[in-house]
Structure 1
């Protein structure tokens, strides 16, 4: 696909002190540590001073002691992706990468995301919130359907319930699944077809979508293990798709990014029922803190568009500094 039309990577002429915030206590801690270390090494390679901070309850004191010019938020999941860290950094007056408080609160919550995107004409699966104990009485939707936590990322706790699944009918309380871990779940119709994703990166001229990747798990579906275990998923980048589907993915990813008020970078995931053409494409979610590991999709798409990992990291930092200098909060201006 080459570079997006008019795209120009923004790198930093000035050398900064960057605190890379990573780790934490969410399910995605190991992924965050890999993302953070990759970012830290990239910034050091470009001559910036880097302080690595492993998120814990004393994080505010650690950041205050480091006194960085900007924080690179490499956290995934709660509390780095749900607005908690963003609110803390807003109070401290420290510039930081990625989306801000309002956007983070909305985007991590799958139901709130639907309320923000669907009225703007962005197609998403239907469904409803159910209490986990309801599943032991009857199915909330006709099978097959998908159950997922309302506010987790990286496909943590996702279950596909089919007539053939060994969860029982209705689901047994002793069957292993997200109903044992979460009080509430989002139930959505299962959409057959292909798993697609598109990254968006902000620049001085606004957000640009990079390309479309198809994710082909070697077995099962694209769950947490498939995402972060080398060799378990094939990334087809760029995806072999009809031109109108590629164009629609790029358009919807930018529209979701803007509607949610994302900053820096985001990644929008799709499910495409290829038997139904453009009517078969649905947005599943928009990730405001996409991974930056060696297996992660945003760096891979950036490389395809001629942007090195170091360029990508600097572009994200440059956007954080630009947003802060303009007096705008990260992602509080949904439109």
Structure 2
């Protein structure tokens, strides 16, 4: 049994009170959130937690107080759940919740702001341009080179994303991304290994779970291949060269810390096939908890079950004003 799983054995589920699992919501990732939330709900109940589903799309958040909830497990993804808005409402109610606070959630949801902070802090992230038209997108392609990634600045699960290889694709790629966000991000494409690196907060320290190497069909790790097929290969341990995974983990923990994240997160990283230089793509402050999700997969590789992971995260729930904080 790992140190992480041993920690959960000392948690008294009754002491956590009546728990709301926030799921569903109104974002483009509602379907994924329902899968995550129902998985978390079943896991918490199996551990003896008095847990109940709560869908903010079906009732106002202030009903949480009226219904006697003591804390929340946030299994919402995307806008209206992962972007600081729900966190702000819970702060006003003084209700502890899982994951990052208002500011870190808001920043991490905004890929452009995240990249600006990482660049300022000396962390590697692919070159990018913010565009406001198809013409801007073509200009970005000329500057960044092909292939290039075009995506909404504030979406997740690869929604609205296009890999552009030819200027003729720019108009359609921009239009698709702009459907989801007025701010569109064009990003240098890094060819190489794709890995994801989960981080957990434990006793005021950040703990890196094993990195997962992702091998999707034709290298296309899209919405369908993330959640609804079994064609994607997940390799954990990732089998990276000696010392490389730990060096990347150090960068990921710093990336987590400089944004002010807490509780848990998952960073997506590309490793250049030629130079082996890692590039941080984005960080997810409310990662998926579905049957295909990566943080539970990494936790299992570290000796921590899905149920123990859910209990660990719930027990660490707090507000921005509560004492605590992790160091890298």
Q: Same fold (TM over 0.5)?
A: yes
1:59 offset after TM fit, Å? 2.4
1:158 pairs with one of 148, 156, 161: 161
SS at match of 1:283: strand
Equivalent residues in 2 for 1:130-145 (5 A)? 130-135=131-136, 138-140=139-141, 141=143, 142-145=145-148
Q: Which residue of 2 aligns with 1:80?
A: 81
Q: Which residue of 1 aligns with 2:65?
A: 64
SS at match of 1:169: helix
Q: Are the counterparts in 1 of residues 162 and 173 from structure 2 also a CA contact under 8 Å?
A: no
**Cα distance in 2, alignment partners of residues 212 and 298 from structure 1:** 9
**Cα distance in 1, alignment partners of residues 67 and 221 from structure 2:** 38
1:285 offset after TM fit, Å? 0.6
Q: Which residue of 2 aligns with 1:327?
A: 322
Unpaired runs of at least 5, structure 1:
none
Give the number of the structure whose residues are more often helix, by fraction.
2
**Cα distance in 1, alignment partners of residues 173 and 107 from structure 2:** 32
Deviations 1:250-305 (A, max 9, x none): 1122111111121221001000113202xx21000111010011110000000000
How many residues of Structure 1 are paired with residues of Structure 2 in the alignment? 322
**Cα distance in 1, alignment partners of residues 256 and 148 from structure 2:** 27
Deviations 1:160-206 (A, max 9, x none): 1113xxxx536345997324554331111111111101101111141
Change (3 A) 1:281 1:59: same
**Cα distance in 1, alignment partners of residues 114 and 220 from structure 2:** 23
Q: Are the counterparts in 2 of residues 80 and 86 from structure 1 also a CA contact under 8 Å?
A: yes
Unpaired runs of at least 5, structure 2:
none
1:315 pairs with one of 301, 307, 312: 312
Equivalent residues in 2 for 1:1-335 (5 A)? 7=4, 9-11=6-8, 12-15=11-14, 16-56=17-57, 58-135=59-136, 138-140=139-141, 141=143, 142-163=145-166, 169=168, 171-173=170-172, 177-277=176-276, 280-321=277-318, 327-328=322-323
Question: How large is the Cα RMSD of the aligned pairs?
Answer: 2.4
Change (3 A) 1:170 1:221: closer
Change (3 A) 1:290 1:173: closer
